[in-house]
Amino acid sequence: MTIVVHHLNNSRSQRILWLLEELGLDYEIVRYQRDAKTMFAPPELRRIHPLGKSPVIEHDGRTLIETGAIAEYLVDLADGQLGAPASRDEVIRYRQFLHYAEGSLMPPLLLKLVLARLPLIGKVATDRVQPMIDTHLDWLESELTERDWFAGDSFTAADVMMSFPLEAAQGRAGLGSSRPHLIDWLARIHARPAYQAALAAGGPYDYA
């Protein structure tokens, strides 16, 4: 049964399209556009799931939300392809980064985005958030001095999960040439044929 991806522009659902391309799974896209003023998802998404968030997928009579949970579901569907490596240490890192991307790294990035839109206290507030982000970026830079990919020596779904926050960090939170391993990692994921195919399928994407 074909996987239906309810895809919101410039959102976390771009990672799901990319993972589907990497795994070679059949899918179709239902597209939604953010409100140009609020940047919120349209109310039509609530017809698919009450939270009205993206990504949402439908498959085999199921409706699934949450990027990490969807990623795990798709990896299982593809018989473990791009899942946890064989090494115990790599398994631990795989699980860690699969959930760290949304659980720890995205919150300060989202906070900075929201605070930057406040006309009076925005700059003062974002100046306080940036050191928190820098701590994350410095740690991630050190992690990639030891290996090519976040889990280990091979590309996995954990790298797919890490793409959105690190693209956001490059766009608005100070990730630049002072952290060359992260910049190199971004260049390598952007060069992957499946990433390019997902961009073509998903449409314009601000963080790429």
Nearest-angstrom CA–CA distance, 74 and 125:
38
Note the pLDDT of residue 10. 87
Long-range contacts of 89-95 (CB under 8 A, 24+ apart): 89/152, 90/151, 90/152, 90/153, 91/151, 93/150, 93/151, 93/152, 93/158, 94/150, 94/151, 94/152, 94/156, 94/157, 94/158
Q: Where are the beta strands (DSSP E) in 60-134?
A: 62-65
Nearest-angstrom CA–CA distance, 59 and 2:
7
Read off the pLDDT of residues 169-197 as tens digits, 9 standing for 90 and up: 999 899 999 999 999 999 999 999 999 99
pLDDT band of residue 25 (cuts 50, 70, 90) is very high
For the chain, which domains are there?
A: 3-82+194-202 (3.40.30.10), 88-192 (1.20.1050.10)
118, pLDDT greater than 80: no
Q: How far is CA 151 from CA 3, 6, 82, 173, in A?
A: 27, 28, 11, 24
26 and 38 in contact (C-beta within 8 Å)? no
Under DSSP, the state recorded for 47 is G
Nearest-angstrom CA–CA distance, 159 and 154:
10
Nearest-angstrom CA–CA distance, 125 and 1:
48
208, pLDDT greater than 60: no
38, pLDDT greater than 90: no
Strand (E) or helix (H) holding 68: helix 67-77
